[in-house]
Copies of this chain bind each other. A is one copy, B any other.
Amino acid sequence: MTHHIPHMLIEPVVRAALAEDLGRAADITAMACIDADARMSASFGVRRDGRLAGLACAELAVKALDPTARFEALMEDGQDCPPGSVVARVEANARALLSAERTALNLLGRLSGVATLTRAYVRAVAGSGARITDTRKTTPGLRALEKYAVRCGGGVNHRFGLDDAILIKDNHVAACGGVRPAIERARAFAGHLVRVECEVDTLAQFEEALAAGPDVIMLDNFATEDMRRAVAMAQGRVVLEASGGVSLETVADIAATGVDVISVGALTHSAPVLDIGLDA
């Protein structure tokens, strides 16, 4: 198993989603049409080519409603799924399985969608040294899971929140009166396990930042030509992150400039769902 996230981080999300769907009266269709003791077998099938992420969500959703359910994973997170792939088989109480179906698919489809889009970006930069990373533009409540899905797609994670790294942006620079004083204040504040990144908008700012020596410099909306110059000037002394206006069309050119990391907000804020269904 290459990719892993503790169930303890998934379970509250799954249970909240189930509760949201069950409401106050629970699944009245199942209660009306399915015998209470009926059991049912089904499989989770992928309809379109994609990268799998979040299979444990499906398992936890079914087992939350039927602890006796059997769930057999046939694939694992991080694997590529051609259309028609069966990723898991499940046998459970029929009411429970049908009640959990939508919650399972909503999470599995969304996370696999993120992984699939990440994979596309990673493939687009293959051969370059650039890594694809995410942003904090995640779905409220799902950050841990969506960042996990980015890893399943082959990406690496940027900050998980406001508290685990320093990222100096234009407003901070303005408040400090320049890039250099901003980086110096950051360095003085940061503990020895905190990295400092500074966003710059121009090559002039980049030079000022380079002199101040942060761990990472973010080149925000740089033309590729300017990125190339920045790479040359940096001489490997600092990690360079390209950011802003990255698309599947442009990402290869950006990677070719020699930057180390390319951050893509769309990975989490605009990934279409991967079409996965439950087949009886």
Report A's interface with B, CB cutoff 8 A.
Answer: 1-2, 4-6, 8-9, 13-38, 40, 64-65, 94-96, 98-99, 102-103, 105-107, 109-110, 113, 131, 133, 136-144, 147, 156-172, 174-176, 182, 185-186, 188-195, 197, 215-216, 239, 241, 260-261, 265-266, 269-270, 272-273, 280
Asked if B162 contacts A164 (CB within 8 A), the reply is no
Which residues of the partner chain B approach A16 to less than 8 Å between Cβ atoms? 140-141
Contact assessment for B192 and A194 in the assembled complex, using a CB-CB cutoff below 8 Å: no
Chain B positions within 8 Å of A272 at CB level: 266, 269-270
Contact A20 B137 (CB under 8 A): no
* A163-B22 CB under 8 A given contacts A192-B133, A280-B174: yes
Other than the known A22-B162, A25-B160, A192-B241, what 19 A-B pairs have Cβ atoms closer than 8 Å?
A1-B37, A4-B36, A13-B140, A21-B136, A25-B164, A29-B167, A32-B186, A94-B171, A102-B137, A106-B138, A106-B269, A165-B193, A192-B195, A192-B260, A192-B261, A193-B195, A193-B197, A193-B216, A270-B272
**Docked-complex contact B192 and A216, CB < 8 angstroms:** yes
Number of copies of this chain that the complex holds? 6
**A140 to B, closest residue via Cβ:** B17
Nearest B residue (CB) for A20: B143
Instruction: Tell me, in angstroms, the Cα distance from A215 to B192 when the chains sit together.
Output: 9
Are A163 and B23 also in contact (CB < 8 A) when A36-B1, A273-B269 are?
yes
Q: How far is the CB of A208 from chain B (nearest CB, A)?
A: 15
> Which residues of the other chain, B, contact A103 by a CB distance below 8 angstroms?
140
Structural contact, A160 and B164, CB atoms closer than 8 A = yes
Q: Which residue of B lies closest to A270 (CB)?
A: B272
Report how far A31 CA is from B144 CA in the complex, Å.
14
Please give the distance in Å from A103's CB to the nearest CB on chain B: 7
Q: Which residues of chain B come closer than 8 Å to A191, judged between CB atoms? A: 133, 156-158
Known: A28-B163, A141-B13. A6 touches B65 (CB 8 A): yes
Given A102-B136, A140-B142, is A32 in contact with B188 using a C-beta cutoff of 8 Å? yes
